[in-house]
Amino acid sequence: MSDTVIVVGGGIVGLTSAVVLAERGRRVRVWSRDPAVGTTSAVAGALFWPYRIEPAELVGPWSLRSLREYVALARDPAATGVRVVAGLMTDTPLAGLGSWARELPEAREARADELPGGRGQALRARLPLIDMPAHLRYLEGRLRAAGGSVERRTVGGFAEAAAEAPVVLNCSGLGARELVPDASVYPVRGQLVVVENPGIDEWFVSAGEDTAGTTYLFPQPYGLVLGGTADEHVWDPLPDPGTAAAIVERCAALRPELRGARVLVHRVGLRPARPRVRIEAVQLPGGARLVHNYGHGGAGVTVAWGCAEEAARLAG
């Protein structure tokens, strides 16, 4: 059927791309090995921010498109899982950001009395903060409402999908390393701890370059997310107790009320990184079109809608 598109991958990038295509009238089938709540996307914190992603000249427009969508979705947080929440990001001058940041709600330089101890500068803004399990369920429902479907299916090669559709969209994330194959794809391991929230209602990010010791706090409906790590080329999916203890200690140094907070769950996600996001259309043997949309690292949520629209354009 000429209007059919098969999307390989059911995380945030795959589901958002599927929604965009289905709402443009395409017959969309998502093939995903795991349920949405079992993907790396479900583990994410997930604060809107273009974190460790290239190319910079495209990330700005992609981010802006996504920002506008999330702000709109935040009008109904109970349904979409999206809220716009105030917070601080250290070492991030507003003037150093791209033009996309002009639309950040209430963005400004933090006052001296707002800075945590030892921090000399911070950006204060209201940013989309997304309850990912709830948001992924919302996207699945929106896809089905537009006539699309989600199928649990392990894909061994794109030829399988090309046998059933003239257009295949590759949103396989870390799986692209073997499926494409693309050796430039690698994991960036992120570990976080979810604790009972003692009453913290703003997010905080220490945006330094120490990849082993990033500090963040994200208040989510299911608990307070504490983080985190960004360990490149590490495949271990299991939480490390020492790392978890260090995360809690860093966060408690900022907010002493976290000392003794009950731990609800430990989480690990392997971010699907690449030197540059790949959004590109190629032709498969037999004539089917394969559109790649992967390599978003830790910013898949942030650029999901912008990349989805670019992938939809390439899908024809």
pLDDT tens for each residue of 93-123: 999 898 899 999 999 999 999 998 778 899 9
Residue ranges making up the domain that contains 62: 4-85+127-183+274-315
Contact between residue 196 and residue 262 where contact means Cβ atoms under 8 Å apart: yes
**CATH number of the domain enclosing 74:** 3.40.50.720
How far apart, in whole angstroms, are the C-alpha atoms of residue 48 and residue 241?
A: 28
Q: What is the pLDDT of residue 298?
A: 92
Q: Encoding tokens for residue 255?
A: 């907010």
- Residue 6's SS3 state is strand
**Residue 136 forms part of a structural domain:** yes
**Residue 208 forms part of a structural domain:** no
Q: State how many domains the chain has.
A: 1
The residues of the chain scoring below 70 in pLDDT are 1, 207-213
Q: What is the pLDDT of residue 211?
A: 47
How far apart, in whole angstroms, are the C-alpha atoms of residue 86 and residue 128?
A: 9
Contact between residue 68 and residue 61 where contact means Cβ atoms under 8 Å apart: no
Of 313, 303, 36, 287, which is closest to residue 162 (Cα–Cα)? 287
**Residue 20 forms part of a structural domain:** yes
The 3-state secondary structure of 147-207, one letter per residue: CCEEEECCCCCHHHHHCCCCEEEECCHHHHHHHCCCCCCEEEEEEEEEECCCCCCCEEEEC
Q: Binding site: what residues are annotated?
A: 40-41, 155, 216, 271, 297-302
The kind and range of the H/E element at 232 are strand 231-232
Q: Binding site for FAD: what residues are annotated?
A: 40-41, 155, 297-302
> To the nearest 5 percent, what fractions of the chain are helix, strand and coil?
35, 30, 35
Q: What is the pLDDT of residue 98?
A: 87
Q: What is the pLDDT of residue 209?
A: 53
**Burial of residue 245 (number of CB atoms within 10 Å: 0-12, 13-18, 19+):** exposed
Report residue 130: phi and psi, to 5°.
-115, 125
pLDDT digits (tens, 9 = 90+) for 22-54: 999 999 999 999 999 899 999 999 999 998 899
Q: Binding site for D-dopa: what residues are annotated?
A: 216, 271, 298
Neighbours of 266 (CB within 10 A): 16
Residues with Cβ within 8 Å of residue 145, at least 6 apart in sequence: none
**Residue 262 forms part of a structural domain:** no
DSSP output for 24-60 = TT-EEEEEESS-GGGSGGGG---B----S-S-HHHHH
How far apart, in whole angstroms, are the C-alpha atoms of residue 268 and residue 167?
A: 33
**Residue 259 forms part of a structural domain:** no
Q: Is the pTM of this model over 0.85?
A: yes
Of 314, 315, 312, 279, which is closest to residue 295 (Cα–Cα)? 279
Q: What is the pLDDT of residue 116?
A: 86
Contact between residue 44 and residue 21 where contact means Cβ atoms under 8 Å apart: no
Q: What is the pLDDT of residue 52?
A: 86
Q: Where do we find the tokens 């996001």?
A: 277
Q: What is the pLDDT of residue 304?
A: 98
